[in-house]
């Protein structure tokens, strides 16, 4: 119950915060379980105005929804960060606990509670928008006796507002 309340509060905070960026990602999910159905996926994220900035690094709240082409989905919220590099390049990362629902038992990750981590590298365009290549991993972090996990690679477009 405490987890559910904390999760709902975090999602409400992320949704109500002014959006700095919307992120659209298109990728491919590779499940660790051999019997699972690997497939394409679509991500949509909202990143709030950063609450921490120091030098070239910034961190803030974010929320994400991932939908796999067969109907599996994940919704989560957590922290995201970005480190600006030279020449318009940047590194991005995030950690978002949330709810995962498989559309088929083959894609079960062991529990409804899963944590999505992301690491990526990208480039800032002249328009201020950003393109990146990111790798994600979802697993329950061993909170369940079953924890096969799923990895994905995606191309992302970050649109600033």
Q: Span 2-160: which CATH code?
A: 2.40.160.20
Q: So where are the chain's domains?
A: 2-160
Q: What digits encode the pLDDT tens for the residues 67-88?
A: 999 999 999 999 999 999 999 9
Residue 1 predicted with pLDDT over 60: no
Q: What digits encode the pLDDT tens for the residues 119-153?
A: 999 999 999 999 999 999 999 999 999 899 999 99
Burial class (CB in 10 A: 0-12, 13-18, 19+), 28: middle
Query: Percent of the chain scored above 90 by pLDDT?
Result: 83
36 CB neighbour count, 10 Å cutoff: 20
């Amino acid at each position: 119950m405490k987890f559910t309340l904390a999760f709902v509060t975090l999602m409400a905070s992320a949704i109500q915060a002014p959006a700095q960026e919307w992120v659209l990602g298109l990728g491919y999910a590779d499940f660790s379980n051999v019997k699972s159905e690997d497939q394409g996926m679509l991500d949509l994220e909202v990143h709030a105005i950063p609450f921490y900035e120091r030098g070239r690094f910034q961190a803030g709240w974010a929320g994400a929804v991932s939908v796999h082409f067969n109907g599996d989905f994940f919704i989560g919220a957590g922290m995201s960060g970005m480190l600006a590099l030279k020449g318009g390049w940047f590194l991005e990362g995030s950690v978002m606990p949330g709810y995962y629902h498989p559309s088929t038992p083959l894609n079960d990750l062991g529990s409804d509670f899963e944590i999505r981590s992301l690491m990526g590298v990208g480039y800032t365009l002249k328009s201020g928008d950003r393109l990146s290549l990111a790798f994600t991993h979802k697993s329950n972090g061993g909170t369940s006796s079953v924890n096969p996990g799923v990895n994905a690679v995606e191309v992302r477009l970050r649109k600033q507002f």
